[in-house]
Chains A and B, each alone.
Chain A
Amino acid sequence: MRARTRGYWLYLVPSLLLFLAVIVVPFLMNVGASFTRWSGVGTPRWIGLGNYARLLEDERFWESFQHNVGLIVAMAVVPTAIGLVLAAALFDYIGKRFGARTASALRATYYLPQVLPVAVAGVVWGWMLHPSYGAVNQIFGLDLDWLGDPDLALATVMAVMVWFQLGYPVVIFMAGLQRVDPAYYEAAEIDGASWWRKFWHITIPQIRPEIFVVLLTCTIAALKVFGPIFVLTRGGPGNATMVPSYFSYLNFFQKANVGYGSAIATVLALIIIVVTFLFLRVQERDA
């Protein structure tokens, strides 16, 4: 039996070598670099926990995580909440009264932004929100600098991200609803339950696994967000939309603070691993 399974190891060899070179070694190098002061050329100088101490006192770093929280709201919480209502409305209201084709056409429309490369979505909105020639100001007869005003920029980026993300939970939740036993709904209808009651007491509990998956994946995506920030605001104006991923990029490639950038990236990686672990724990206990 042992000899039988041993041969299968061979099939893992190419990937394990690739992983060693592309993921394991670079990650360890990144952690190593986070303990040094290094401009990217020359020899890194060991400074122990110096970069981490500096992080704790760096206002930009803390602000960037606060902005991440805003983006979690915009990319995970709001799309999940709206997505639940939309999926339920499409599935058991529109689908039943106007036909499945209407429901799936609406679903496809909501999903459309999701097919774009996120950088292209940024280009689209950068153009729409342009202060002098953008369409948004024209429509509402406003004269706002949506992405250039420090008080508005984060809210604007959040709104764009809601638009971008919304289709994903709708599609996942509608798929989940298909495995819910219709008998629950029939029983509730006989009892005269309202739509909202059915939504709270049947729909949400039944597609709990999907809700978990969507919240987890979208939260991770929000923590990692880079493309929209790069294209829309480059973290600005000032520091108004700075996020950790862009902050580390800035330190790596523009400020030549490789050690500091590595420390930011390491902290971000740890946070993402912890968040993933917590979600999986909660999900396990729940199941």
Chain B
Amino acid sequence: MRGPGRWAVLFALVVLAVVMIFPFVIVAMNAVKSPAEYSSNGPLSLPEGLYLQGIVDFWNRVEFGVKLWNSLVISASVSVLAVVLSVLNAYALGIGRVKGRLWILVLFLVANTLPQEALAYPLYYLAKAAGLYDTRLAVIIVMTAIQAAFGTYLLSAVLGQFPKEILEAASIDGAGRLRSLLRIVVPISRPTLSVLLIFFFIWTWNEFFLPLIFLISNDTQTVPVALGVLQGQRYMDATMSSASALLGIVPAVAFFLIFQRTLTRGVTVGAIK
């Protein structure tokens, strides 16, 4: 295809790109319209000015700052804890080659593929019994286990190919196991660990089902749960709905932009999930 043909291909792909980002654009456009402007001009007109009251009202009504903080605390704790556990496990499985490692890996893999529904009610019941129901800690503990299952599976394969000579040299120099882990394995695998950390953070941020079950009060809910539960409430008019959608989009897109370089390098890592 030469000449007009190649432009036709480009045109088709650009049209598709427009369709893909259209919802983002239209949500942003309508989040800054006043209800009056919306009802007279409809959703498709360009905003006449910057009306931020809808966003402010929604923010205050749901205490969005609290939701952001909850999401941040949960996602940051889970990603750090899950990376630590994944490293410890992968050290034993990938480098230590402990007996029965294949079975342990299968266990972790099954744990990662199990639907959360098959754990949900007992977890809910146990959390209530332990006094952890409706606390962020409950979500942190459960999500750490689920993310670490995936991380262990992935990191064990990576550490299985770790150059043995370096570790042998270290042990001749008298370094113990823990020292080798902290001084050699962790620094050398830092690029993989940072990709894993970012993935865990974003996956936990985006999680819906378990936080929905555990977090019922306003003080503990995360961003996706608050938005998902409020969807379709009576007081949510058109502009406030788009304001809520925008507030859900902004952090996610911000993470995407901040982490983009690491992510595009690492999406193939996530392919296994």
Contact = CB atoms under 8 A, between A and B. Distances in A.
Interface stretch (B8-16, B48-56, B186-194): B8-16
B238 A133 contact: yes
A57 B85 CA distance: 44
A70 interface: no
Interface in A201-225: 210, 213-214, 217, 220, 223-224
B34 interface: no
Contacts of A108: 260
A27 B209 contact: no
A127 B42 contact: no
| Size class of the contact patch on chain B | 35 or more
Interface string A219-241: 01001101100110000000000
B220 interface: no
A112 B21 contact: yes
A167 B245 CA distance: 20
B252 A33 contact: no
Nearest to A253: B213
B248 A116 contact: yes
A266 B245 contact: no
Interface stretch (A73-81, A150-158, A181-189, A267-275): A267-275
Contacts of B231: 122-123, 126, 231
B120 A265 contact: yes
B27 to A, nearest CB: 6
A64 interface: no
A122 B248 CA distance: 11
Given A22-B142, A116-B249, A269-B114, A138 B122 contact: no
A115 B248 CA distance: 11
A262 B123 CA distance: 12
Main secondary structure of the interface of A (DSSP, over half): helix
A26 B212 CA distance: 18
A268 B120 CA distance: 13
| Size class of the contact patch on chain A | 35 or more
A210 B27 CA distance: 34
Contact of A33 (B20, B122, B177, B213): B122
B54 to A, nearest CB: 12
A192 interface: no
A183 B145 CA distance: 45
Interface of B: 1, 6, 9-10, 13-14, 16-17, 19-21, 23-24, 26-27, 30, 38, 42-44, 85, 88-89, 91-93, 95-99, 104, 107-108, 110-111, 113-126, 141-142, 144-146, 148-149, 152, 177, 181, 202, 205-209, 212-213, 223-225, 227-228, 231-232, 237-238, 241-242, 244-245, 248-249, 252-253, 255-256, 260, 264, 267-268, 271-273
Interface of A: 5-12, 14-15, 18-19, 21-23, 25-27, 29-30, 33, 40, 86, 89-90, 93-94, 97-98, 102, 106, 108-110, 112-113, 115-120, 122-128, 130, 133-135, 138-139, 163, 166-167, 171-172, 175-176, 195, 210, 213-214, 217, 220, 223-224, 226-227, 230-231, 244-245, 248-249, 252-253, 258, 261-262, 264-266, 268-269, 272-273, 276
